[in-house]
Amino acid sequence: MTRLLVRGARILGGEGADLLVEDGVIRDVGSLGSVGAGVEVIDADGLVALPGLVDLHVHLREPGREDAETIATGSAAAAAGGFTAVFAMANTNPVTDTGEAAERVLDLGRAGGLVEVVPVGAVTKGLEGAELAELGLMARSRARVRVFSDDGRCVQDARIMRRALEYIKPFGGVISQHAQDARLADSSACCHEGEVSGRLGLPGWPGIAEESIVARDVMLARHTGSRVHVAHVSTAGTVEVIRWAKAQGIDVTAEVTPHHLALTTDLLVGYDPVYKVNPPLRPAEDVEALRAGLVDGTIDAVATDHAPHARHDKEHAFADAAFGMLGLETALNVVSEVLVRPGLLDWAAVARIMSTAPARIGRLAEQGRPLEPGSPANLTLVDPDREVTIDAAASRSRSRNNPWHGRTFCGAVHTTIHRGTVTHSTDQTVMESAW
């Protein structure tokens, strides 16, 4: 029997308490005193204990682009970022559009053992938008897929989207939509449409291209009585649409990325391709609306859209470079700096947006649980006062397209525990004893 004692952690930022873990389960919580011999002890005095973080939106690139990331390297980055579960998007090669493909991703994640890797199934075959993928077979496979997305591409056809929503309803699935109307923002669009895009001569990506798809999809969700999830919300207008839809009782959820909460389109003036993402960085007024929407519950979760790329895919002229940036190792740092430090959110709210809500949306029964006796021992210890300067070269990811290089944040992951095993710690003695 493996035993671990977390001593003196502030659960959700409250009073300090001890947590005793046995065989992957939290057995006791409180002022525990002596718990006998053979227990590994983590001194968590001053640290905040949260349920293990859950990321609804990551790209692990395997199979097909192992030069950019593998499930093993992505899992290591996730553990370092405090995550105990991640949802792996379907835009791999081959695409995760069958039960067998989903099971392969599941098995690779389990072999690594650092985090729970949950396959996301494609909505359409080959992400081509023409024919539904094997939604039911993926749902009934060992992977038990419940989240489906063509992320990287929008499900443009309203009839296909309606059919997908109807199909996944009986087994409680959800469609995660990459909202981008190709008639308003095609594949060349790479900069928020406005003064900056005009001055830089970059193809514009207007907010309405996102907002119009979200408006369509929430109405389809109302019509079908099914669930729709809005990936990487980036505009104030989208926040308004989601707020209205929730007020109508429509079953819609939404996520926002750390980079859309902190970075603005002004960073593009240097044509640095590390800042090229889809949807693009937006103006400051959109950033403020996104923060407000997260604080008031309109936006349910923070998700990284972790998108690693090999150097040769990013080192191009801005318009030709690949979309995407890293996010797994730095998400908690950013949330702490831009939301907790200014007093917009407390640590209990961080647990809600980075653990409880994403686990609920993705239907993960063993994640996002309260830190109480009987819960699976998935937890993250955070040092709220530790300052960290990001070094892209030190990333566990195989890629280096990190937009936070050189920035200093207050608040950092100290230890990650997945199913009772320490998978990351800044205390080397804990790691050595755990392994």
Say which residues have a Cβ less than 8 Å from residue 410's Cβ, sequence separation at least 6.
336, 337, 341, 384, 385, 386, 387
Alpha-carbon gap, residue 414 to 137, rounded angstroms = 40
Please answer whether residues 88 and 59 qualify as being in contact, where contact means their C-beta atoms are separated by less than 8 angstroms: yes
Among residues 279, 385, 293, 283, which one has the least CA distance to residue 323? 279
Calculate the CA 418 to chain-centre distance.
17
Q: What is the DSSP letter of 428?
A: H
Report which secondary-structure segment, H or E, holds 108: helix 99-112
| 18, 305, 313, 383: the active-site residue | 305
First to last CA, the chain: 15
Q: Which region holds residue 407: left if phi is over 0, alpha if psi is between -120 and 50, else beta?
A: beta
Which two tokens mark 370? 């309260």
Q: How far apart are CA 73 and CA 278, in angstroms?
A: 23
Distance CA 394, CA 50 (A): 25
CB 149 within 8 A of CB 179: no
Q: Is 305 a catalytic residue?
A: yes
DSSP alpha helix (H) spans, 353-427? 357-362
Report how far residue 426's alpha carbon sits from residue 73's, in angstroms, rounded to the nearest whole number.
18
Q: What is the dihedral of CA 169, 174, 176, 181, to 10 degrees?
A: 20
Q: Which two tokens stand for residue 227?
A: 């669930």
CA 413 centroid distance within chain: 16
- Contact predicate 338/36, CB 8 Å: no
Active site residue ranges: 305
